[in-house]
């Protein structure tokens, strides 16, 4: 069995159990929470690693596309790591805690640590374990301020305030993974339950909701936050990455080290599911004024992009045919999970224009807010015009397939309110 065949296997269990329950009220109610009030979601499963030393910042500059010429204390950045071909290995949040001290979140922690240990850097790294609670939505500021008894109006976007909740020291990162005003609250995992309960209590008067696994990624879809495994496979399967891949898999739990694909797109090699930061809408993060892994490839692609990211809005009449097929006599089309896939596939489908492949689409999901089926799409620049009509091929290879009409729309699709004033 070759690498591509192994990717087509169905994963056991459900990807969304990491967020606690699949639903707390119900997914429709929870998916409205970040537009009408706020939610609390638990991202404490993310990995954290603390880097220290005189060369710590140089280490991140060498392994990231980002500009670190201005990186203030208590500032955070969305850092992106690529291979020599400019394809994504991982991305996540990096926070500067001190002059030579940084906290990195996500799978990229393993890659940066690996490069540190196999390079010549005067730096150290150690795993940490923090809780990570997202409080997102227009009422998030009121809930967090009530929980901590402090004012946070002067904390700028992608900067951190230092507060106390339930007697616990908490780092409050102002960001907005739901495309709304919000905070990530981080601190000692041993105090997580006390902090969680205090936030819920403070949020009662504001109608706070707990965010379950079923709705968790709809905000990423509406707000266009491409995600590893869901929208791209990490570029770690090439022969030159064998040493890192072995370490990565030995260090990670099964749910995070198993990669599976589904959908009508048929790649010939694993790299066909890789993506670049240009394709995923992050070209503005790429700083060519310093040397980093993948710089030359990204310089060329940034100057002459082949594909860009858009939202596709799927034709409702065609979508209904997929569900109606369950009640016919013929073999039905592949099941279309609502609000979105719960198994942890990179569900990747072909996008056609006049019968020609012009892109691929991922993250398909139903937005209860818009009452529409949406997906993110990396599409040829020539076909990326807003309003362009394309078709999505729905159905795995060898299964019944249907072409579903779709309209190209902006990404993000929902208005971006992350930097909204209080």
Non-local CB neighbours of 405 within 8 Å, separated by 6+ positions:
314, 315, 318, 389, 390, 391
Residues pairing with 187 in the sheet = 131
Helix (H/G/I), strand (E/B), else coil: 142: helix
Nearest residue to 115 via CA among 282, 234, 238, 241: 241
8 Å CB contact between 306 and 381? yes
Sorted by sequence, the CB contacts under 8 Å of residue 330 that are 6+ apart come out as: 400
Residue that is written with structure tokens 């065609």 in the block: 318
What six digits make up the tokens of 114?
Answer: 């690996």
Beta strand ranges found along 43-87 (DSSP E): 48-52, 76-82
Q: Three-state SS for 382?
A: helix
Task: Return contacts of 112-115, CB within 8 angstroms, 24+ apart.
Answer: 112/49, 112/51, 112/59, 112/60, 112/63, 112/81, 113/49, 114/244, 114/247, 114/248, 115/59, 115/62, 115/63
325 DSSP 8-state letter: G
Calpha distance 75→386 (Å, rounded):
35
389 belongs to an annotated ligand binding site: no
| Dist CA 147 CA 139 (whole Å) | 13
Task: Report in angstroms the alpha-carbon separations of 81 from 235, 286, 312.
Answer: 10, 10, 27
Helix and strand numbers (H, E) in the chain are 11, 19
Known binding-site residue numbers for substrate: 184
Known binding-site residue numbers: 184
């Amino acid at each position: 069995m070759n690498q591509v065949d192994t990717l087509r296997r169905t994963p056991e269990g459900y990807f969304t159990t990491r967020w606690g329950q699949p639903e707390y009220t119900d997914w429709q109610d929870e998916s409205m929470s970040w537009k009408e009030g706020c939610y609390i979601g638990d991202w404490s499963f993310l990995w954290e690693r603390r880097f220290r030393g005189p060369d710590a910042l140089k280490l991140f500059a060498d392994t990231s596309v980002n500009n670190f010429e201005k990186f203030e204390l208590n500032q955070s950045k969305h850092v992106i790591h690529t291979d020599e071909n400019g394809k994504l290995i991982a991305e996540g949040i990096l926070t500067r805690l001190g002059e030579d001290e940084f906290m990195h979140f996500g799978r990229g922690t393993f890659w940066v640590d690996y490069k540190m240990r196999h390079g010549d850097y005067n730096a150290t790294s150690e795993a940490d374990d923090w809780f990570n609670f997202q409080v997102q939505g227009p009422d998030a500021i009121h809930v967090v301020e009530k929980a901590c008894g402090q004012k946070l109006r002067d904390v700028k976007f992608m900067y951190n305030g230092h507060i106390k909740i339930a007697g616990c020291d908490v780092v409050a990162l102002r960001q907005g993974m739901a495309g709304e005003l919000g905070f990530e609250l981080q601190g000692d995992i041993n105090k997580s339950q006390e902090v969680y309960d205090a936030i819920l209590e403070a949020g009662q008067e504001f109608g706070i909701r707990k965010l379950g696994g079923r709705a968790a990624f709809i905000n990423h879809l509406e707000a266009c936050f491409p995600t590893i495994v869901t929208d791209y496979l990490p570029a770690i399967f090439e022969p030159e990455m064998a040493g890192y891949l072995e370490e990565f898999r030995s260090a990670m739990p099964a749910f995070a080290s198993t990669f599976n694909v589904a959908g009508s797109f048929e790649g010939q090699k694993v790299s066909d599911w890789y993506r670049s930061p240009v394709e995923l809408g992050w070209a503005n993060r790429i700083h060519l004024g310093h040397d980093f892994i993948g710089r030359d490839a990204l310089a060329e692609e940034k100057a002459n992009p082949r594909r860009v990211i858009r939202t596709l809005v799927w034709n409702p009449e065609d979508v209904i045919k997929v569900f109606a097929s369950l009640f016919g006599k013929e073999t039905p089309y592949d099941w279309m999970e609502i609000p979105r896939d719960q198994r942890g596939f990179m569900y990747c489908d072909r996008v056609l224009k006049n019968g020609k492949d012009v892109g691929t689409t991922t993250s398909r999901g139903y937005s209860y807010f818009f009452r529409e089926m949406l997906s993110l799409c990396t599409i040829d620049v020539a076909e990326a015009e807003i309003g362009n009509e394309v078709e999505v091929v729905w159905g795995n290879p060898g299964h019944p397939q249907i072409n579903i009409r779709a309209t190209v729309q902006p990404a993000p699709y929902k208005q971006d309110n992350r930097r909204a004033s209080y």
